């Protein structure tokens, strides 16, 4: 569904994304690429109902599919509703001829991430005037091995209850003043029945497959 937006704000974000200059091989770069502005031209042109009606009149008068008007357009995927829990799934495979090959490259990810440069300026559950949408890392899933076999392990942070998160999940409410630092707690590495306390640096150096963040602001 294509909704009509003010052309001046349709492609605007909460924070200026052009100031990011994201480092290649980082989660910021992945998000920047995923939400980049795309031009739809040639075989990717957009079917325009307004243009069609201007040329041929109401839809009921159109008897042939050839009488639809396609036009050049711009497309951008942005976040319109900031979730209480942010789950990022990294694509860890690529096509190699007729086969799939696992991507083992390390992708840098932070303890606290700001989604504002990837949110629409009219993000529904962000307090007016806020230019930050912050999330704190609390879980990582890692996969070791190949596309044919391997092993999943997880990193999880034991932390105190996040009352703000409860408000968001249960009542959809957001507070004005919140902490902007990572939620304090101890990280653990879980592999089958083995659980071991680890440092934050160990977590941030892992080959992340899934990332779990909870909203701070």
The better pLDDT of the pair 147, 214 is held by 214
Q: Are 79 and 209 in contact (CB under 8 A)?
A: no
How does pLDDT run across 80-117, given as a tens digit for each residue? Answer: 999 999 999 998 887 777 777 788 889 999 999 999 99
CB 74 within 8 A of CB 37: yes
What does the pLDDT average to over 33-55?
A: 87
> Does a structural domain hold residue 16?
no
pLDDT of the residue at 48: 84
Q: What percent of the chain has pLDDT over 90?
A: 42
DSSP character for 67? Answer: G
- Is residue 175 predicted with pLDDT exceeding 70? no
Residue 7 lies in a domain: no
Residue 156 lies in a domain: yes
- The band of 141, judged by pLDDT with boundaries at 50, 70 and 90, is very high
CATH number at residue 116: 3.90.70.10
State how many domains the chain has. Answer: 1
Average pLDDT over residues 1-25: 77
* Residue 18 lies inside a defined structural domain of this protein: no
d(CA 217, CA 206): 26
Q: What is the predicted pLDDT for the residue at 1?
A: 46
In a domain, 181, yes or no: yes
Give the per-residue pLDDT at 214: 93
Q: What is the mean pLDDT of the chain?
A: 84
The enclosing H or E element of 204 equals: helix 200-204
pTM for the complete prediction?
Answer: 0.81
Query: 74 in a domain, yes or no?
Result: no
Give the contacts of 90 (CB within 8 A, at least 6 positions apart).
30, 107, 208, 209, 210, 211
Q: What does the alpha-carbon distance between residue 27 and residue 4 come to, in Å, rounded to a whole number?
A: 31
At 56-85, the pLDDT tens digits run 777 655 555 567 888 898 888 999 999 999
- Domain range spanning residue 97? 79-215
Q: What is the pLDDT of residue 68?
A: 83
Half-sphere exposure of 23 (CA within 13 A, CB side): 8
pLDDT tens, residue by residue, 154-166: 999 998 776 666 6
């Amino acid at each position: 569904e294509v909704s009509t937006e003010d052309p001046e704000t349709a492609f605007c974000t909460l924070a200026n994304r052009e100031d990011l200059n994201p480092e290649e091989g980082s989660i910021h770069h992945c998000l920047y690429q995923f939400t980049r502005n795309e031009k739809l031209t040639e075989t990717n042109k957009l079917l325009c109902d307004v243009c069609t009606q201007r040329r041929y009149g109401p839809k009921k008068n159109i008897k042939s599919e050839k009488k639809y008007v396609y036009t050049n357009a711009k497309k951008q995927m942005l976040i319109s509703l900031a979730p209480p829990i942010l789950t990022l799934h990294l694509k860890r495979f690529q096509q190699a001829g007729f086969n799939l090959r696992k991507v083992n490259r390390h992708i840098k990810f932070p303890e606290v991430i700001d989604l504002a440069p990837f949110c629409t300026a009219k993000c529904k559950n962000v307090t007016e005037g806020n230019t930050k949408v912050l999330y704190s890392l609390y879980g990582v899933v890692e996969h070791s091995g190949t596309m044919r076999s391997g092993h999943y392990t997880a990193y999880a942070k034991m932390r105190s209850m996040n009352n703000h998160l409860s408000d968001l999940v249960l009542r959809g409410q957001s507070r004005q003043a919140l902490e902007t630092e990572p939620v304090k707690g101890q990280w653990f590495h879980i592999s089958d029945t083995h659980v071991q306390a680890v440092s934050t640096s160990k977590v941030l150096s892992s080959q992340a497959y899934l990332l779990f963040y909870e909203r701070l602001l």
